[in-house]
Amino acid sequence: MIMRAKISLAILLSALAVGIPGIAAMPRVASEANGSQPASQAISTHRFRLDAGQSRFIAHALRGGPLWFKGHEHLVAAREFYGEAQITPDKIIPASLQLTVKTDSMVETSDAFTEPQKQIINKELREIVLEPEKYPEIVFKSADVTGKPLGNGQYDLKIGGDLTLHGVIRHIVIPAKLTLNGNSLRAVGEFSIDRSDFNVKATSAFHGMVRVRNKVKFTFDIVGHRV
């Protein structure tokens, strides 16, 4: 009797394994049967390549010199930069930002200066202030991103990371308002640094035109396209 029960059980298990007419196979787990992924993987991280041609990245340095143009603000714009931003819609993280500015692309753009003055300023930026031959790139790499969604594809973010400028690395935090619109990203904000923390000089000669205060404010309006 026991032997007959064992044989019947073996036949039943074999039928379920291979499937025979009249005997239904055991149902598989839903995610395995329909190929769906767990909910935790449903939202993917989006990558965006930064577009310098559609963006603005400007250093604002308030004049500190004694000459007749005292009080005029320098507006030094980065003409060439590249990088990538990542964000996970709704959840924010994982998120990251990497930005590289070509140092020799930074030029004076303020209308407060004449074209001849701008030429002098740009020469001093290259030879005394930024020294692109020694330090060809200014680099920011994020280490942590926090924030909150505001709805309609908008986010308030704080992007912490390392800024490498003039050969010196310092941790900074960049506040930004970010908007996602289809396959485009736009980040707007500002942050400040103390140029003395990065050993960035201003011209010391009396005739020098780049004579600024230690605090330098950066404003940005950066556009990226999804890749």
Give tens-digit pLDDT for 56-75. 999 998 765 444 344 578 89
pLDDT band at 214 (very low <50, low <70, confident <90, very high): confident
107 within 8 A of 122, measured Cβ to Cβ: yes
pLDDT band at 203 (very low <50, low <70, confident <90, very high): low
pLDDT number for residue 138:
98
Give the C-alpha separation, 63 to 11, whole Å. Answer: 91
Q: Is the pLDDT of residue 121 over 70?
A: yes
Q: Residue 10: which residues within 8 A CB-CB, separation 6 or more?
A: none
157 within 8 A of 175, measured Cβ to Cβ: yes
Give the C-alpha separation, 109 to 155, whole Å. Answer: 30
Give tens-digit pLDDT for 4-29. 444 444 444 444 444 444 444 444 43
Give tens-digit pLDDT for 187-198. 999 999 999 999
Which pTM value belongs to this model? 0.76
Q: Which of 105-119, 134-148, 165-179, 192-206 has the lowest mean pLDDT?
A: 192-206
Task: With CA atoms as reference, report the closest residue to 107 among 143, 70, 79.
Answer: 79
Q: Which of 19-28, 101-110, 188-197, 212-221 has the lowest mean pLDDT?
A: 19-28
pLDDT number for residue 32:
37
pLDDT band at 211 (very low <50, low <70, confident <90, very high): low
Q: Is the pLDDT of residue 159 over 80?
A: yes
The full DSSP string for 93-154 is EEEEEEEEEEGGGEEE--TTS-HHHHHHHHHHIIIIIS-TTT--EEEEEEEEEEEEEEETTE
State the distance between the two ends of the chain, measured CA to CA, in whole angstroms: 69
Q: Is the pLDDT of residue 176 over 60?
A: yes
pLDDT number for residue 38:
52
Give the C-alpha separation, 132 to 136, whole Å. Answer: 4
Q: Is the pLDDT of residue 157 over 80?
A: yes
Q: List the domains of the chain with CATH numbers.
A: 44-226 (2.40.128.110)
